[in-house]
Amino acid sequence: MSIKETFKRLKDRGEGALIGYIMGGDPRPDLTPKIAEALIEGGADVLELGIPFSDPVADGPTIQAANLRALKSGTTPTRVLEITNQIKGCHNIPVVILTYYNIIFRIGLENFFDKAKKSKVDGIIVPDLPVEEAQDYKFIANKHGIDTIFLASPSTSIVRLKKIIECTSGFLYIVSLFGVTGARKTLRRSTIRLIERIIPYIKGETPLAVGFGISQPYQVRSIIEAGADGAIVGSAFVEIIQKNEYNEDNMLNSIRNYANELKKATILEGE
C-alpha cells in the first residue's frame, strides 16, 4: 500500500497516522526486522527506517548514539535496503528511508534509486537536501516511483513553503521546533500555531505529518486535533532499544505496547 493510500484510508476511518522511526541496524541488523514487526503490531501505520551515518546533523544525542551502534554493528546502506525488502515481504506497510545526501551521492543517484526500488522503498527523506537543489534528485525519484518527502520548519518562509509543498510527495514533514531530534515531555503552543499556519497552503492535497520532540500520547492527540494527518515518533522508540539492548524480549514488548498507546491517541473522539 502506498503512502498516499495509507493516509487516505486512515482519514476515511477518522484516524491520524502513527509514523514510527527506528535506526536500521540498531543494535544489530538481524534485530531490525523484529523491532519493525513489534512497531507494526503495536499500530504503526508507516515505518521510517534510518540509514546510519557518521555525521547526522539533524539528530540529537539519542539518535546519534543509535547511528554509532548501527555503524559498529557493521550496518551499511545496502544492508538497510535489504532489511527494507525483508520487512516489505512480510508486511503491507509503507517504508520510508531517512538518509543524508552524502550516502546517496557516494552510491550514485541512479544506482541508489535502482536499489531502493528493488527493495520496495516507498519514500525517502533527506534532511540535508534543499528543495532548491533537488531537481535532478526529484526527477530520478519520480522515475522510480518513490516519494520525495521534504521538510518544513518554523523558520520556513511562505514563499519557500509553497515551493516545498509543490515538490513534496507522500507527505510533508513538519519539523515542530528549532533544534535537533529528541523526545520532549511537553508540546509547545508554537507547534500548534505552526500546523495552523501551514494547513491553508496544503489545501487538503498533501498529508501533513509532524515530527521532532513528539513522544507522548497527549502530544500525538494534540497535533492530530490541530489538523495534522500524522505524528512521527522516533527518539522515544530508540530510547527503548537503547535501554533494552541486551534484553530482546523486553525491548520488543515495550516497543509494541508503547506504539499501541501512541496509536490510540491518533483516533479522534467521536469518530
- We report the CATH number of the domain holding residue 212 as 3.20.20.70
pLDDT in tens, 23-60: 999 999 999 999 999 999 999 999 999 999 987 776 77
Cα 271 from Cα 268, distance rounded (Å)? 6
Cα 232 from Cα 199, distance rounded (Å)? 17
- Which residues pair with residue 172 across a beta bridge? 208
Phi/psi for 75 (5° steps) reads: -75, 130
Q: Would residue 59 show up in a list of annotated catalytic residues for this protein?
A: yes
Q: Which domain holds residue 92?
A: 3-262
What the block records as the C-alpha cell of 145 is: 516511483
Burial of 61 (0-12, 13-18, 19+ CB in 10 A): exposed
- Any domain includes 125: yes
Among residues 15, 26, 48, 122, the one annotated as catalytic is 48
Provide the pLDDT for residue 183: 46
In the chain, the number of structural domains is 1
C-alpha dist (Å) from residue 196 to 47, 253, 265? 25, 36, 19
What does the mean pLDDT of the chain come to?
Answer: 92
Among residues 59, 122, 147, 229, the one annotated as catalytic is 59
Q: What angle do CA 94, 96, 102 make, to 5 degrees?
A: 160
pLDDT in tens, 190-226: 888 889 999 999 988 899 999 988 999 999 999 999 9
- Any domain includes 197: yes
Q: Answer for the pair 130, 158: CB distance below 8 angstroms, yes or no.
A: no
- Any domain includes 243: yes
